[in-house]
Structure 1
Amino acid sequence: MKLRQLLTCALVALASFSSHLVAAPLDRVAVQVNDGIILQSEIDSMVNTVKQNAKAQGQSLPSDSALKTQVTERLIITTLQMQMADRMGLQIGDLQLDQMIGNIAQEQKMTVSEMRKAIEQDGTSFATYREQLRQEVTLGEVQRIQVRRRIQVSPQEVSSLVEMIEQQGMQNSEFHIGHILIEVPSNPSSAQMEASKERADKTLELLNDGADFKRTAIAASGGPKALEGGDWGYMNVNEMPTLFAELMTGVKKGDILGPIKTGAGFHIVKIFDVRGRETQELTEVHTRHILLKPSPILSEERAKEMLESFMKQVNDGSADFADLAKQYSEDPGSAIKGGDLGWADPTIYVPAFKDNIELLQPGQYSKPFRSSHGWHVLQLIERRTTDATDQMNNDRAYQLIFRRKYNEELNAWLNEIRGEAYIEVIDPMQRRG
């Protein structure tokens, strides 16, 4: 389990704990967030879960006070986003949730029943798992809706990035980044700025002397990944926030960079690892097919029988596949071309069509099969592997720029909604800074 999963597990525990609040006479309000509250029991439960999971994976943690500060901040941010979801009327229904759970189980090569049993064996009720997943999806949707509209990617940005990719070959490397932010107050005085700089220098000194980076990040960082130990995971240089990207030239595993001063404070960056990226190649297929669509006039059985008859004629040489496609196929785009679909990435096709392509060698025909479009027979004419770097660079450059801006805008948006909210920490020990 990665450290970033500690918070997820803690949120699961909170959902279970909330059903027993009435039986907890010593519970009290710890934070007021607009017209909502965060209970002390929620903070304590999350802290305990983080500790348990850290112990299980051998991760050291900072003091209880530092950990509680990070947990409280995360709960405030989560509460603000869930309040916004309520105002937007954003709800994840049970049917949508069931479909997501089914997809997760399928990805893990399990049935839903098997996945449920595994979850319950880990000590979490399936109902709690469902509600925690519902919250995760809700948060993701709120962020997507609010942040996406803040982002614009110009053609000039895309072309510039494509040129950089081609010139520097930076797409061949990914960097595992750790980050610590020593914050400064808004409109800081000279003394406040100097105090933050001294904290940053001291933090860097401790790290250079061998202090655990993740533990230090949890204790000291004001960055968005603090509770995950400052771990941003693997990123291509073009996916990173601009601050990180500008530091990557010539770095190697284990390097610690900083402090770097920005308006937000002083940044310390560690390179946990560097790895290469695979060459961008694309396997394309050249296929042709005949499609029959069942209807009140054409039954499922009759459509399959007709295709079997067509293939018998093709195999014994009494009919030509292209002629049959022109006469009978109900795919107007390809029928006029004898069923020819041209060269394409097989992943663009529906699963049943793609899966049947994978079963064939060049020149072979499939047996009749059903897809979401109807009944097909297809022929794989040829396969080829192409260098897709040029073809994919524009699309990839757009996505990389978008992801970089998304990370930056998400952090800015979260800071905005927190700054606009009414937040009162009832227990002074829970206040930040």
Structure 2
Amino acid sequence: MNFKKLLLVTLLGISISHTTLAQRVQMDKIVATVNEGVILQSEVNQIIARVKEQAKQQSTELPSDKTLRVQAIDRLVDQSLMLQLAERMGMEISDSQLDQTISNIAKDQNVTIADLRRSVEASGESFQAYREELRKEITIGQVRRANVDRRIYISTQEVANLQKILEQQTGNPEEYDVGHILVKIPNKASPEEIQDARERADNVMEFLNDGKEFKRIAIASSSGPKALEGGQLGWMSINEMPSLFAEAIKGQKKDAIVGPVRSGAGFHILKVQDIRGREVVETTEVRSRHILIKPSIILSEEKARDMLSDFATKLRAGEADFAELAKEHSEDPGSALKGGEYDWTDPTTYVPAFKNTLLSLNKNEISEPFRSTFGWHIVQLLDTRTADKTDQAKLSRAHGLLFNRKFKEESFKWQREIREQAHIDVFPTE
């Protein structure tokens, strides 16, 4: 090939390359900026596709793509803010921790990891994308927990007062399956904006009272955190709900639509989708011991896991003493000096990875190394028992209900605060 032909082919290749690049840029354009971060059209499309697939499976009618786009961008803005905060906090979810979480998900669904992978890929999503989405969810959950927990204070008097209320209840305490729609009021809203929000909320009530599907209306109209899930808040007792919701829902019958109820965030519309009773009678307790190794700059994830794997092998062979290994190596200050031992405990108080592993063991069995939010563990189940813990359970339940209520309230306030402090630009569609 002569020089002129070579030059022509080269220039043509550059031209095609630039054209292809331009097409890719056009296909995956920036739709919003969040501080220094960006939200891409492909991310919005992925959420919309997922919502449509879920709606198809549930036979739920959806609003327009324009409405779904607004909801998807809103979710991605919140996600971006959380992940930026996680980066500033130095919070990372390792591959090992992610693998452990996926293993727990598969176990909860009573399937193998291979089955889970096939299920994800059958829905049209790559397993790698599923993993990364899960990594984001775990990160966001940890960021929210780290920032909201410290805003919550529960006094012993609050627990005692709620416990008395619970004791006065007759029969099984009731739980409600709640649907939620929020018609948001802008920060520092004018009287006209408040009136406009009120009218929109009244219109939503009319639609619902006329028999329109709640999930579809929630996806189209709600600014609440569960809008894209059709406003489904799940099962909650009166004491677990935000106070505003509890006052509105208490005593309502199944299928009741309540609202609009005004708060600082806007006008809330609630639906009582179902009601059920709940009763605490007995508690299964476990006695166990464990060894915790925390990965660090010096000790990698793999080395921490391998160290515990070696411990487990020696313990099963009778070549080492569990208590001695725990005293020498465990980084759990609460149990190390006791030979790694925990006294009788309700396993539901442990983090999910620890609880699930512990409950999968037979008496005296030692687990394989597993990852929790604290680090790498091996755990041995020493014994189990069924205990009458009614009084303690009531206190724990009262504290848990108060915590859940305050966590929901503070989480919403905190997320609103970080959003108000952020620089967010959403670009209009062409």
**Same fold, judged at TM 0.5 (above):** yes
Matched residues in 2 for 1:162 and 1:21: separation? 64
Which residue in 2 is equivalent to 1:74?
75
C-alpha displacement of 1:54: 1.1
Which residue in 1 is equivalent to 2:298?
none
State the Cα deviation string for residues 153-189 of structure 1 (Å, max 9, x = none).
1111111111111112586211011111222233333
Matched residues in 2 for 1:275 and 1:391: separation? 23
Which residue in 2 is equivalent to 1:177?
178
Which residue in 1 is equivalent to 2:232?
231
Residue pair 1:176, 1:273 contacting (<8 A) in 2 also = yes
One-letter amino acid of the counterpart of residue 30, structure 1: V
C-alpha displacement of 1:303: 8.3
Which residue in 1 is equivalent to 2:265?
264
Larger radius of gyration: 1
SS in 2 for 1:109: coil
Per the normalisation by structure 1, the TM-score is 0.72
Residue pair 1:303, 1:375 contacting (<8 A) in 2 also = no
Matched residues in 2 for 1:377 and 1:49: separation? 44
One-letter amino acid of the counterpart of residue 397, structure 2: R
State the Cα deviation string for residues 168-216 of structure 1 (Å, max 9, x = none).
2586211011111222233333332222222222211111111111111
Matched residues in 2 for 1:186 and 1:145: separation? 26
Matched residues in 2 for 1:158 and 1:169: separation? 19
Residue pair 1:165, 1:171 contacting (<8 A) in 2 also = no
Matched residues in 2 for 1:81 and 1:427: separation? 24
Which residue in 1 is equivalent to 2:128?
127
C-alpha displacement of 1:262: 2.1
The count of residues paired between Structure 1 and Structure 2 equals 354
SS in 2 for 1:62: coil
Q: CA RMSD in A?
A: 3.7
Tell which deviates more after alignment, 185-194 or 215-224: 185-194
Tell which deviates more after alignment, 274-283 or 63-72: 274-283
Which residue in 1 is equivalent to 2:65?
64
Which residue in 1 is equivalent to 2:141?
140
Matched residues in 2 for 1:186 and 1:284: separation? 48
The answer as to 2:44 corresponding to 1:43 is: yes
SS in 1 for 2:274: strand
Which residue in 2 is equivalent to 1:395?
396
The answer as to 2:172 corresponding to 1:161 is: no
Matched residues in 2 for 1:392 and 1:232: separation? 25
One-letter amino acid of the counterpart of residue 141, structure 2: G
Matched residues in 2 for 1:32 and 1:268: separation? 31
C-alpha displacement of 1:352: 7.8
SS in 2 for 1:421: coil
One-letter amino acid of the counterpart of residue 420, structure 1: Q
CA 1:167–1:52 in 2, change beyond 3 Å: closer, same or farther?
same
Which residue in 2 is equivalent to 1:84?
85
State the Cα deviation string for residues 79-130 of structure 1 (Å, max 9, x = none).
1111111111111111211222222233333333343334334333222222
CA 1:210–1:98 in 2, change beyond 3 Å: closer, same or farther?
same
CA 1:390–1:419 in 2, change beyond 3 Å: closer, same or farther?
same
State the Cα deviation string for residues 201-258 of structure 1 (Å, max 9, x = none).
2211111111111111111122222222111011111111111111232211010111
State the Cα deviation string for residues 377-409 of structure 1 (Å, max 9, x = none).
98x9xx7663x3322111111111111111111
State the Cα deviation string for residues 129-169 of structure 1 (Å, max 9, x = none).
22111111111111111111111111111111111111125
Matched residues in 1 for 2:380 and 2:233: separation? 47
Which residue in 1 is equivalent to 2:305?
none
CA 1:239–1:116 in 2, change beyond 3 Å: closer, same or farther?
same
Which residue in 2 is equivalent to 1:15?
none
Matched residues in 2 for 1:285 and 1:425: separation? 52
Which residue in 2 is equivalent to 1:101?
102
CA 1:199–1:394 in 2, change beyond 3 Å: closer, same or farther?
same
Matched residues in 2 for 1:51 and 1:371: separation? 45
Gaps spanning 5+ residues in structure 2: where? 1-20, 288-310, 321-336, 368-377
One-letter amino acid of the counterpart of residue 114, structure 2: S
CA 1:274–1:95 in 2, change beyond 3 Å: closer, same or farther?
same
SS in 2 for 1:266: strand
Which residue in 1 is equivalent to 2:421?
420
SS in 1 for 2:235: strand
